[in-house]
Amino acid sequence: MRCDLCGAMIPAGSEIHSLVADSASVHGHDPSLDGSRILTACSVGHLADLQHNYRQKPFINAELWASKIALALQQHPDGLSTPQLAAATGLNTLQIERAIDWQREHRQSEHDPAPPPTQPADRE
């Protein structure tokens, strides 16, 4: 196992672990773990640094919801309707809308623009 801070290999049995809040973390099989991240460190000092870093990061519900949606869509590459997405994620329609809005804003702030909207074909 490697230290999450420095990447050093940690001898078996000497790892130090902690659980921290992280709205970007979604567990693939246990939704009760969504929003939590397990940290692994090689020393008490590195664990403290990692914990400090995660405490400085705000927990954003819409980020968690967007991650849950992304996981569900990865498992359904042909897409899902909003009701199907709600069933697959346990989110309601408002949470899905807020997650999509957050994702759009986040993508734009990362200078990764969304593809342009498609224009309907001209009908004459």
Residues pairing with 16 in the sheet: 41
Torsion angle of C-alpha atoms 101, 104, 21, 86, degrees rounded to 10: 50
Let me know if residue 115 belongs to a domain. Answer: no
Stated pTM of the model: 0.77
Q: What is the pLDDT of residues 16-61, one digit of tens each?
A: 999 999 999 998 888 889 999 999 999 999 999 999 999 999 999 9
Residue 43 shares a structural domain with residue 73: no
CA distances from 110 to 48, 79, 89, 106, 114 (A): 29, 25, 25, 6, 11
Residue 68 shares a structural domain with residue 102: yes
Let me know if residue 49 belongs to a domain. Answer: yes
Work out the number of other CB atoms within 10 angstroms of the CB of residue 25: 17
Let me know if residue 87 belongs to a domain. Answer: yes
pLDDT of residue 112: 52
Please tell me the distance from the alpha carbon of residue 2 to that of residue 17, in angstroms, as a whole number.
11
Total domains, the chain: 2
Residue 47 shares a structural domain with residue 79: no
Q: What is the pLDDT of residues 69-122, one digit of tens each?
A: 999 999 999 999 999 999 999 999 999 999 999 999 987 666 555 454 444 444
Q: Are 41 and 32 in contact (CB under 8 A)?
A: no
Domain that holds residue 92: 61-109
